[in-house]
Amino acid sequence: MKYLGPARKEKGCVIMPDTFRDVPEGQVFEAVEVGGDIVLAIPPLDKKRLDEVKRLADRSIADHRKSLEGLAR
């Protein structure tokens, strides 16, 4: 997992951290809610891949909960 930095909602849009500058213009992401947390994934997101994203996100969020909560403040 690579932490990219905080994103924020502004005027109905999600503003991504500066690390997203390397992402090509027009790139589409699938937004998935996992246990109250939002994960962005590059499509296609079929059932098998979605299950894997959920499993990995659940594990990573649990492992890093304290750090993530501190960063959110």
* Span 6-65, pLDDT tens digits: 888 899 998 988 888 888 889 999 888 877 778 888 888 888 988 888 888 888 878 887
- Judge whether 2 lies within some domain: no
What is the pLDDT at residue 1? 64
3-class DSSP assignment, residue 23 = coil
- Judge whether 1 lies within some domain: no
Cis ω for the linkage preceding 44 (within 30 of 0): yes
- Judge whether 50 lies within some domain: yes
Domain count, the chain: 1
**Rounded Cα gap, residues 23 and 1, in angstroms:** 17
Parent domain of 33? 8-72
What are the beta bridge partners of residue 40? 31
Q: How many CA atoms lie within 13 A of 20 on its CB side?
A: 13
pTM of the model: 0.59
